[in-house]
Chains A and B, each alone.
Chain A
């Protein structure tokens, strides 16, 4: 049964570029959303806090698959417009979804930096912006690292859902291969597991490292 392994690998690896590019783009997008939404939720301005709270709770409270289907099928049907290619829709949906989760990580890390840090920077007459940029965020970042590592691994795993809207990632190619070689289904999915795990290895390493940095990080 192992003689087909090289064939399977050669076939599914065609999706490697798409899986990694969606992962990198979606992760970058979600990090940006995380900081924008996380900091907006700490804003003094009620309406900004309100709007971001709706965004965060909406995306955390609904499923990623349904969000993908909405962007890919429902909105084009309702509005008669195609938003973007399936690749972009994958990036946007995953980015918005994990951005919502990560914004909570940003928010809680910022508020868990010791209040004395803010007070000391007020006593030095730093502006609100300087306090955030020079004192609070550098310390909050360290606290965020482990969770950003964990969520990045989840984002990688989440990318496999885009095969459901026709994006040609490694899972998509795996499904195609299996449908014409039904007896090798188990081997195909085993190989997919291994590939995902290999891509995740650097992330696992980085999040472990992040945990170490966080431990000796900040005044909390």
Chain B
């Protein structure tokens, strides 16, 4: 079990690794949404999403509740299939594949499995495995999906759990943790898989207010030190301002505003956005 001191050293190490990351917008995007639509029954939720996500880019998605923020990232995580359009991940079409004769057909489980490896997600309600200890929540995907030897998986998981400040809780079960601790375990579990792009769906909105800070702190640390791209659906405007390279305002089924955080949150003249922000700040 990690002692306080060990935790400190891991913290120091990560501090040393800090590299101010410039997003290279001339690089090939790691993900492209191309005119993506999504309907649930008769409800047309997303009406043509076009979005390029670049390697190591940190994107925040804001917008009114029900505008489809969650749906956008769930389609990338393969939890929801687009009704129309394409999502390209690292040059490959996520939801469609080529048959022998060149015809594009619906992706098979195997096709999705091949691409999904690059993507990780943290959920609003944590979704930890309640029958596994915290350590095993991280170890199990490594040994089963990555086929990593058990001792290696344990090492990596311990390291990641200390990094999120839970090195002393390895043998506890999720039910005995606070919401903030659960969410940090969920992040460690997603991180050990080393995705190229990590999705966060309102990861602080199910937490008691006093627990929000510890979770944001972990994300802030990741944003500063990790190469991976991050897409955060969030209601934490100040946080988005602080760490996002780009902020998207989703409204009416489309990306209504897109730009740097200060452009979108502080200087946009879009009346719908101003209205949204005003209601937000009033709360």
* A, B in one complex: yes
Distance, CA A76 to CA B221, complexed state (A): 75
CB distance from A44 to the nearest CB of B (A): 10
The stretch that binds A, out of B12-20, B118-126, B148-156, B256-264, is B118-126
Pairwise interchain contact B144-A218, C-beta atoms closer than 8 A: no
> Which of A46-54, A128-136, A157-165, A191-199 lies on the face that meets chain B?
A128-136
Q: What mask results when residues 115 to 135 of chain A are scored 1 for a CB within 8 Å of chain B, else 0?
A: 011011111111110100011
Give bound CA distance, A219 to B125, whole Å: 11
Whether the Cβ atoms of B130 and A125 lie closer than 8 Å is: no
Whether A124 contacts B130 by the Cβ 8 Å rule is: no
Q: Is A202 part of the contact surface with B, judged by Cβ < 8 Å?
A: no
Smallest CB gap from B117: residue in A = A125
Contacts of B145 in A (CB 8 A): 124-126, 130
B131: interface (CB < 8 Å)? yes
Residues of B contacting A219 in the complex (Cβ-Cβ under 8 angstroms)? 127, 130
- Tell me the residues in window 30-81 of chain A with beta carbons closer than 8 Å to chain B beta carbons: none
User: Any chain A CB within 8 A of the CB of B238?
Assistant: no
Which B residues are in CB contact (< 8 Å) with A135?
129
**Interface pair B190/A128, CB less than 8 Å apart:** no
A219 vs B123: C-alpha distance when bound (angstroms):
15
Does the CB pair A122–B193 fall under 8 Å? no
B84 to chain A, nearest CB (A): 22
Q: B158 contacts which chain A residues (CB < 8 A)?
A: none
Closest Cβ neighbor of A127 among chain B residues: B113
Return the contact of B144 from the options A116, A123, A126, A142 (Cβ within 8 A). Answer: A126
User: Closest residue of chain A to B115, judged by CB?
Assistant: A125
A124 close to B113 (CB less than 8 A): no
What are the residues of chain B within 8 A of A216 when measuring CB–CB? 175
**Given known A-B contacts A119-B79, A130-B144, A125 and B125 have beta carbons under 8 A apart:** no
The yes or no answer to A138 lying at the interface (CB within 8 A) is yes
* Cβ-defined partner of B131 (8 Å) among A123, A128, A139: A139
- State whether B131 touches A217 (Cβ < 8 A): yes
Known interface pairs A125-B116, A125-B193, A126-B141; A116-B127 also in contact (CB < 8 Å): yes
Complex Cα gap A122–B109 (Å): 11
Q: Which residues of B contact A142 (CB under 8 A)?
A: 131
Question: Within 8 Å CB of A218, what residues of B?
Answer: 130-131
Instruction: Point out the residues of chain A lying under 8 angstroms from B11, CB to CB.
Output: none
The residues of A that contact B117 with a CB separation of less than 8 Å are 125
User: Chain B's nearest CB lies how many Å from the CB of A205?
Assistant: 23
Cα of A6 to Cα of B130 in the assembled complex, Å: 53
- In the complex, what residues of A have CB within 8 A of residue B10's CB? none
List residues of chain A with CB within 8 A of the CB of B109.
127-128
Chain A residues within an 8 Å CB radius of B190: 123-124
A117 contacts which chain B residues (CB < 8 A)? 127, 129
Query: Please, could you name 22 A-B residue pairs with CB atoms under 8 Å apart, sorted by A?
Result: A117-B129, A119-B79, A119-B123, A120-B129, A121-B141, A122-B77, A122-B78, A122-B116, A123-B116, A123-B120, A124-B120, A124-B145, A125-B141, A125-B193, A126-B141, A127-B113, A128-B109, A130-B145, A134-B140, A216-B175, A218-B131, A219-B127
Chain A residues within 8 Å of B, Cβ to Cβ: 114, 116-117, 119-128, 130, 134-135, 138-139, 142, 216-219
Point out residues on B near A: beta carbons under 8 Å: 77-79, 109, 113, 116-117, 119-121, 123, 125, 127-131, 140-141, 144-145, 175, 186, 189-190, 193
Given contact pairs A125-B113, A219-B130, enumerate 14 new A-B contacts (beta carbons under 8 Å). Answer: A116-B127, A117-B127, A117-B129, A119-B79, A123-B79, A123-B123, A124-B190, A125-B117, A127-B109, A127-B113, A130-B145, A135-B129, A139-B131, A218-B130
Query: 5 shortest A-B CB distances, which residue pairs?
Result: A120-B127, A116-B127, A124-B141, A123-B121, A125-B116
